[in-house]
Structures are given as C-alpha cells and as structure tokens.
Structure 1
Amino acid sequence: MSLIDAGYNPVPSPSPPLDNNGFWPQIEPDDFRKAERLINTVPNERIEYALRVAMADINRQLRTWQAEQQGQGAATIDDVTPPNWQSPGIYPLLYRRAVYATAHASLLERYREISATREGDERGEAKDLAADDYRRDARWAVAEIQDHNHTVVELI
C-alpha cells in the first residue's frame, strides 16, 4: 500500500527578498510567513503583493521622518541612532512590524469568507476585528518610529 499526496496546501517555494527604497530594509516574504504564521495558507503571489502594497503605504507614512534622518546624514535606517532608552536595531524591527501588520490585515480582509450563513458572517466579523488589530499594531509601530504617542486624545 502506498500513500499518494494530492498536494493540498503544499509548502510554498522560497521567495526572494523584496527590494525597498534604499533607506528601509528589504522585506523577506519567508520571514513574514513565519512571523505571521502563514506558512502554507497563502500563495507566494498574494504574499508578495500584500507586502509590496504595505511597504508603499508605510514608506509614505514615514517619508517626512525618513527625509529628516537623511538630512542629518543617515543613508539607511541602520545609520540612525535610536534614543538611549531603546535597544539597538529597534527601527528596522518596528518598520518590519508595521509592514507585516499592514500586509496581514490586507490578507485577512481579502480572505474574508463569503457566506450566507450566520456562522460564516461571524467568522468574517472575527477576521475584520483581527484586521483592525493588525492595523492598530502598524499605526503603533509607525508612531514609535516617529517618537509619537500611540494615541492622541482631544477634548471637545
């Protein structure tokens, strides 16, 4: 007797790193898969697309901060010295967190199940809530890079 593997959810082939704008680090799709526990659930093409869109979004949000750092002589994020209360290498870590969280939120929104049943609606709503949590994580990572508070409250 032999086992025939139909190839359901095969492990994707390794993906090359995604080049960035030269200031921010490359993004590794395989690292994203491991960090976000998406090992074999999403095709490489969708992972790459979500990561590229997330990189564009986060780079846009950080463009002014990046320009300030470059104006002070930093060629890459590795040249930026973090405050003495932060650990070395914190900026690339926070950048990856922002990109990964944005990409994961996008994937959750796109993979929301379409269902006419109440159970399917509840699963979809749970994914929407999870996507909101990932977007919050991305906002907080960007705020941390910019040395801003996570939440701004204004009295009316």
Structure 2
Amino acid sequence: MSFFAVEPTQDSQQIIQSSDFWPDIDTAKLRATMRLDGTVTDERLIHSTINAVSSVNSELKEWRQQKVTEGHESLEAVPAEQINSESVYVHLYARAIYSLTRANLIERLRDYDTTGAGDSDVDALADTITNLHRDARFAIRDILGKNHSTVELI
C-alpha cells in the first residue's frame, strides 16, 4: 500500500469576475468542489479559470445577447427552475467552468511533472479529461436548451 501526501490547500479566495451578466466564480468554492489540493497554486488556478470563463462565455455569447435583449440583466434573472434557491442556469454555468478548469489543469500536468511517472499519471487521467470536457459540453448544451448529442444522416 502506498501513501501519497498532498499539499494542503491555500486558504486564499479569489473572485473571477466576468461581464455583469455572468456570475462571479469563487476559486475557493471551485477548489473545494473539484477537490484541488495545494499542488495547484492560486496562480495556476486563476489562469485556468479565466481560460474556462473565456471559453464558456464565448460559446454562450449569442444566447446571452438574446437574454439581455429579452430584458434579463443577469444569468440569475433568466427564468429557470430553482435548486437550493439558485437558478439551474447558475449551477450549469458553474459546472461548465469548473469542469473546463480542472480539465485544463490535468492537461497541463505534464508541464508540472515531466518525469516518466508524471507522464504515466497523465495518461491514466485521459478518461478523466474526456469526462470533464463532456460534463462542460453537456452543461453548455443544457443552458442552450439543446440535446446532448447531434446525429446527422449521411
């Protein structure tokens, strides 16, 4: 049996702000939700989170513009089912951001640990990366009101 000591997480909280429409992303909540330990520095987490926010916001740009045109000033104001007194859209948006952030961090693991052990660890996480990208894609498609798969006849 092996025991791996992990770095304790840092107690700092950073808020990633986007446009007024989108909710802020709390990196402490992201870190806890995605179980990111202290080996992920605040700087790396912020960088990956900003990248994820940029990507998700870009994919949802037309949807956001439509909702603003309808008179909804924020994601929270768009009519939706509520879960734990919060819009399902807010939950889905966070899921997309969190999933892409973690996928990005795992993909960059080779940069952090380029030893043979590091490469084999990343190879073992290939399914996790794929699943995280799928989770983000599903969350975005749910916001857009689209099915999770697209089928075309040839």
Residue 152 of structure 2 is aligned to residue 124 of structure 1: no
What is the 5 A alignment of 1:13-24?
A: 13-24=11-22
Q: Please name the residue that 1:66 is paired with.
A: 64
Name the counterpart of 1:92. 90
Q: How far apart, CA to CA, are the structure 2 residues paired with 1:17 and 1:129?
A: 29
Computed over aligned residues only, the root mean square deviation of the Cα atoms, in angstroms, reads 1.9
Larger C-alpha radius of gyration, 1 or 2?
Answer: 1
Quick check: which one's strand share is greater? Answer: 2
Aligned residue type for 2:46: E
Task: Please give the alpha-carbon distance, in whole angstroms, between the structure 1 residues aligned to 2:138 and 2:78.
Answer: 19
Give % identity: 31
Taking structure 1 as the reference length, the TM-score comes to 0.85
Amino acid at match of 2:78: V
How much does 1:17 deviate? Answer: 1.1
- Number of residue pairs aligned between Structure 1 and Structure 2: 145
Deviation of 1:45 after TM superposition, in Å, equals 0.4
SS across alignment from 1:148: coil
Runs of at least 5 residues in structure 2 that lack an aligned partner in the other structure: 1-5
Runs (4+) of structure 1 exceeding 6 A deviation are none
Counterpart pick for 1:78 among 76, 101, 112 = 76
Q: Please, what TM-score do these two structures have when normalized by structure 2? A: 0.86
TM-superposed CA distance for 1:132, in Å, is 1.2
Q: What is the alpha-carbon distance in structure 1 between the residues aligned to residue 22 and residue 96 of structure 2?
A: 12
